[in-house]
Structure 1
């Protein structure tokens, strides 16, 4: 995986990689390789990055949620192994991948999803925005419009994939799909609320909340392998 970011930095009991703009498929392969090669003592990692324009479709996702305008737009569609339906990634969107050993942190998948949502809610509150969860529809919303999406894969007790927060991304590609499988779902971004911080600045703020909420490494247990149905 090539990236134009900064060297990895230690933050508490994990490594943080600020990778800049990275093509989607090499990033996905790097997550898989890292997760498959983990040992009991491998430090957890969080990757902060952006992707060039790409649609991703979860392992049980329906291709029909890519509308004709999306098929004609020339944006690549990648079938992947997270839960959930279709979403869009592009420049101006903060992506955070959480490569965590859940057993060592005593976390269940639903607890990690809740934690990720809470970190996003707290980050947005820093900007004076009231965000909330929506029952049955993982992610974070402001007045019913989606500003952040989630998607995870857990293999042998270790997570990869993560979350995406719209900072100043082009929202047009979202109108060419049924975002996360919901027809007519409105998507929004921080810039719509007059927030001037760029992706890097928002990433540091969100990272602080993730690190605050993550339990420390201390617990081991049996492994699991499944996708979390999140979007």
Structure 2
């Protein structure tokens, strides 16, 4: 039996959340349930392992944190839905590429349900609406287990994206759900996207919790 715990965590500081992800991944064995965390972060830039300093243009007072996920620099802030996936890929018999596809298609389905036509791009992970990026992906796999995950822009201050080259792309246009859906909130989409992710992963037993 493969068990999954889905946690709704509200707003959480980035560093502490990252440390908790790493601790869970480092300590887990075959008996530990997979977990999905749904949350928001205060304003922060995160720079992936392949990140180049020149893509951080003018961070100002927003902290920049070097992290161990794939990809380049991105921005997190209130009004953005962040979902982290701590999954035993070996147990689920999932390859990384398949997991990325599952995440992207779950986002596409949720956006379609809100009347937004979106799609992934073969040359750049994430989900796009008419060429503008609405969701970013960044994963790390250690000991056959994934952590980090996705960020879906819902209703946030988009200005900080203009201070970086998002995901290493110069002049990458960014968008968010509220550009297309009036009154969209993180709460509206958190449960829906979690359910779509659950549907694509194939766990036998799923538990939904609020908090740690």
TM-score range, shorter chain: over 0.9
| Residue number among 143, 149, 154 corresponding to 1:162 in the alignment | 149
Q: Deviations over 1:43-92 (max 9, x none)?
A: 0000000000000000121011000x32xx21000000000000000000
Deviation at 1:185, TM superposition (A): 0.3
Aligned length: 203
Deviation at 1:16, TM superposition (A): 1.1
Alignment partner of 1:15 is 2:2? no
Does structure 2 retain, via aligned residues, the 8 Å contact 1:106–1:215? Answer: no
Relative contact order (C-alpha < 8 Å, sep 6+): which is higher? 2
In 2, Cα distance between the equivalents of 1:164 and 1:94?
Answer: 6
Structure 2, gaps ≥5 residues long: 205-212
- Where does residue 158 of structure 2 map in the other structure? 171
- The correspondence of residues 110-149 of structure 1 with structure 2, limited to 5 A, is 110-149=97-136
- The correspondence of residues 75-224 of structure 1 with structure 2, limited to 5 A, is 75-216=62-203
- Where does residue 43 of structure 2 map in the other structure? 53
In 2, Cα distance between the equivalents of 1:195 and 1:127?
Answer: 11
> More strand by proportion, 1 or 2?
2
TM-score scaled by length of structure 2:
0.93
Structure 1, gaps ≥5 residues long: 1-11, 218-231
| Residue number among 19, 31, 34 corresponding to 1:41 in the alignment | 31
